[in-house]
Structure formats: C-alpha cells, structure tokens
Amino acid sequence: MTLHGLIPPLLLATAALAGPAVAAEVNVYTSREPALIKPVLDAFSKETGVKVNAVFLTNGLEERVKAEGQNSPADVIVLVDVAKLAGAAEMGITQPVNDPAISANVPATLRDPAGHWVATTLRSRVVYASKDRVKQDAITYEELADPRWKGKICIRSGQHPYNVSLFSAAVSRMGPEKAAEWVKGVKANLAKKPSGGDRDVAKDILAGVCDIGVGNTYYVGLMRNGTNASEKQWGQAIKVLDSRFAGGGTHVNVSGAAVARFSPNKDAAVKLIAFMTSDAGQRILADLNYEYPIRKGVGGAETEKVAGPINPDTLALADVAKNRKAASEMVDQVGFDN
C-alpha cells in the first residue's frame, strides 16, 4: 500500500505524460473484504508476474464503475450475491467473456449464459441450532414459521442481502402470498428484534437468547477455527442443521467475478478470472473462507467438515435474482425489522 494515489492531480497528469506503466497490471474493484481474496491474488501475481492493484468498495461499487465510464481503470469486478452480479451486467458495466479455460472451469449453471459473470465460490444459508437444546439434525425453511419455535429464533436484519436472497428464493418457491405469510410467521417466532450479524446469531444461541437461527455456512468454520477464543465457543455451541425447502434443496448463493466493460487490461483480467476458477485458485478461495468450490473435487473438504455436503436447491439462480426487489419490499410490508 502506498501514498502514490494521493499525489495531486497535476503531478499525476505529468506522470501519465511520461508514459504509461510498462509492467503488466490488473485493477480489481472488490466488494469482498480484501483479506479474503488477497491470497488468491498473490498466488496469481506469483504465477504470472502480473501486478494486482485492488480497492475494496462496498456500497456503490457498481455506480462508481458506471460513472467512471470509458476511462475507468477497473479490470475485474468482484461481487457477492447473484443478484448483484446480474445487476452489474444489467447496468452495462461488464462485458461478455468467451474464454475456453473459464468455460471449462465453471459449470454452465454457475455463470451468466451471455458470459458477463461467473461464480467463483458457493455458500449455503442454513439454520444454526443449539447443540444442547435442539435434538433434530434437519429442518425445512418452512418450519421456521411453525409456532413451536415461538420466541426461539434469532436472525439478522431482514433487509440484509443474505436474507433478501433467501426470502427471494421463498417467493420463487411458494409464490408471493404464501411467502409473505411465511415471513410473517418467522417474524412472529423471533426471540429479539433482527440485528447484528450471523456470528451474533451463534453467540445468542450460546447465551440462551434463542435456540435456532439463520446464518451462512462459512461463519461456522471461521468461528470454530479462528484465533478468537470467545468466537470458538460460539461456533462450538451450535450445529448446522440440514436445511432445505420442502421438496427442494438448500438455499445457495455465490460470490463471483466479471470483466469490466472498459477494462484497460482485458487479457490480464480474463487470465485472473481463469486463475480464480482453476484448481489452484479454487483450493485457496474455498478453503480460506470455508466456502464450497464451484465444482466437486477441488478443495472444500474443510467446509464439508463443519457444514456437511452441499445440496443446492433446484431453483435457477437467475430466478432468485429476479424476485429480490419483491422480497425486499415484502420485508418492509410485514415490518420484519420493526
């Protein structure tokens, strides 16, 4: 990290006049926390000699790329959530990529048919349960609205993208009316107002505030195997229930990558995405953050140890993305966060 980005504009212009950078570079705009993807970026630099510059942007990443337009330095865009990836393509800030290596690496169901984005890892959104107080090992999402859980469920804000996607999948599966009934039922069972993050759900289960809660799989691995002693306790206090829609599978979401529309270093950008989806890249990405790899047999063993094998629901990811707005409005209508 340097201060070079801070030199006044005039100096910068002079530097640009002196000649563009000679060494191969690739610029990454990422909404994933840099520490989570830095290892794979470092491995890429080591293998190819291409220097990776990154900036961590959360809200507004897409707007920034769009506003920067034809002179944007962005080469690769890294986003979490299929709806975000689809939205970026819709906004016109990505470009189609037709690379044999990437096509071979990523199953067709996990990439945009037009080639605008690919998934790089998978994660499931599941039900955590107290090891002490909950006997069952499996649950349907529908059961979360069952009055027998009254006052026993914890969950983060209904407007958090992870929950919006889960509710959006429910809209696709059950239809809007039944989904709204279901969300109302879940709300009626909450032990406390939605707040905090997925780790807080595990913490509250340990504290006895609630018996079950909703969270992403990778947090369990991160808590149990992290360096923080109290988080270890939270992770140990819970088990991951085999969570599915009735007659379906587990709600799965993705993180993924796309090549920016005006990418100045397109070759390097494609190379980087090919590397992220390669065996070596997948092993780093999946094992580092306890996510599932995009295809079987390359890493993910640690993830399965804490969260079991993945059983994705049969719903197309594009369907989930489509109902996101309806799901988010539903959260407001039933007053889920109130």
Partner 1 sequence: MTALTPSKAVPAPGTDRPGRRASDRAGRILLAGAWTAAAIVAAPVLALLIIALGGDASTARHVGVNVLPRALLDTGVLLAGVAVVTSLLGVGAAWLVTAYRFPLRDLMAAALVLPLAVPTYIVAYVYVELLEPLGPVQTAFRAMAGYRMKAEYWFPEVRSMPGAILILGAVLYPYVYLTARALFAVQSANLLEAARTLGAGPWETFRTIALPLARPALALGLSLALLETLNDIGASEYLGVRTLTVSIYATWLNRGSLPGAAQIACVMLAIVVAILWMEARARGGRSFTGSMKRPRPVSPLPLPGAAGWAATALCALPIIVGFLAPVAFLAREAIARTLRAGIPDEIAAALGASLVLAGTATVIVVALGALVAAAVRLVRRPTVALLGRIAALGYALPGTVLAVGLLWPLAAVDNVVADAWRGVTGVSPGLILTGSGAAVVIAYAIRFLGIASGGIESGMSRISRHIDDAARTLGRRPGGVLREIHLPLARPALVSAALLVFVDAMKELPATLLLRPLNVDTLATLLYAQASRGAFEEGALAALAIVVAGIVPVVALMRVSSPATPPEAAAVEDAAGLARA
Residues 72-101 that bind partner 1 (CB under 8 A): 72-73, 83, 87
Cα separation, 67 vs 43, in Å, equals 31
Closer residue to partner 1, CB minimum distance, 249 or 264: 264
Answer for the pair 77, 266: CB distance below 8 angstroms, yes or no: no
Stretch that binds partner 1, among 105-113, 194-202, 239-247, 251-259 (CB under 8 A): 194-202
Residue 337 is a binding residue for partner 1 (CB under 8 A): yes
Give CA torsion, residues 294, 83, 244, 302, to 10 deg.
30
**CA distances from residue 217 to 104, 176, 239, 296 in whole angstroms, order as listed:** 27, 27, 10, 17
Stretch that binds partner 1, among 57-65, 106-114, 135-143, 302-310 (CB under 8 A): 57-65
Selected from 24, 45, 48, 56, the binder of partner 1 by CB under 8 A is 56
Cα separation, 74 vs 200, in Å, equals 35
| Sign of the Cα pseudo-torsion (63, 55, 321, 104, in order) | positive
Q: How far is the CB of 158 from partner 1 (least distance, A)?
A: 9
Residue 148 is a binding residue for partner 1 (CB under 8 A): no
Selected from 24, 45, 48, 53, the binder of partner 1 by CB under 8 A is 53
Answer for the pair 156, 198: CB distance below 8 angstroms, yes or no: yes
Residue 20 is a binding residue for partner 1 (CB under 8 A): yes
Residue 1 is a binding residue for partner 1 (CB under 8 A): yes
What b/e readout covers 230-265, taking b as 16+ CB neighbours within 10 angstroms?
ebeebbebbbbbbbbbeebebbbbbbbbbbbbbbbb
Q: What phi, psi does 159 have (nearest 5°)?
A: -85, -5
What b/e readout covers 140-154, taking b as 16+ CB neighbours within 10 angstroms?
bbbbbbeeebeebbb
Q: How far is the CB of 103 from partner 1 (least distance, A)?
A: 28
Stretch that binds partner 1, among 4-12, 98-106, 176-184, 240-248 (CB under 8 A): 4-12
Residue 132 is a binding residue for partner 1 (CB under 8 A): no
Task: Count the Cβ atoms, other than its own, within 10 Å of residue 274.
Answer: 21
Q: How far is the CB of 338 from partner 1 (least distance, A)?
A: 7
Residue 318 is a binding residue for partner 1 (CB under 8 A): no
Selected from 7, 114, 246, 318, the binder of partner 1 by CB under 8 A is 7
Residue 207 is a binding residue for partner 1 (CB under 8 A): yes
Stretch that binds partner 1, among 94-102, 117-125, 202-210, 269-277 (CB under 8 A): 202-210
Cα separation, 126 vs 146, in Å, equals 17
User: Residue 33 is inside which H or E element, if any?
Assistant: none
Encoded amino acid at 185, one letter: G
Closer residue to partner 1, CB minimum distance, 75 or 143: 75
Site track for partner 1 across 215-254, x = CB under 8 A: ----x--x----xx-x------------------------
Selected from 24, 45, 48, 55, the binder of partner 1 by CB under 8 A is 55
Site track for partner 1 across 255-294, x = CB under 8 A: ---------x------------------------------
Residue 186 is a binding residue for partner 1 (CB under 8 A): no
Selected from 115, 194, 235, 256, the binder of partner 1 by CB under 8 A is 194
Residue 325 is a binding residue for partner 1 (CB under 8 A): yes
Closest CA to 123 of 42, 185, 36: 36
**Within 13 Å and on the Cβ side, how many CA atoms surround 215?**
31
Query: Looking at residue 56, what DSSP letter applies?
Result: E
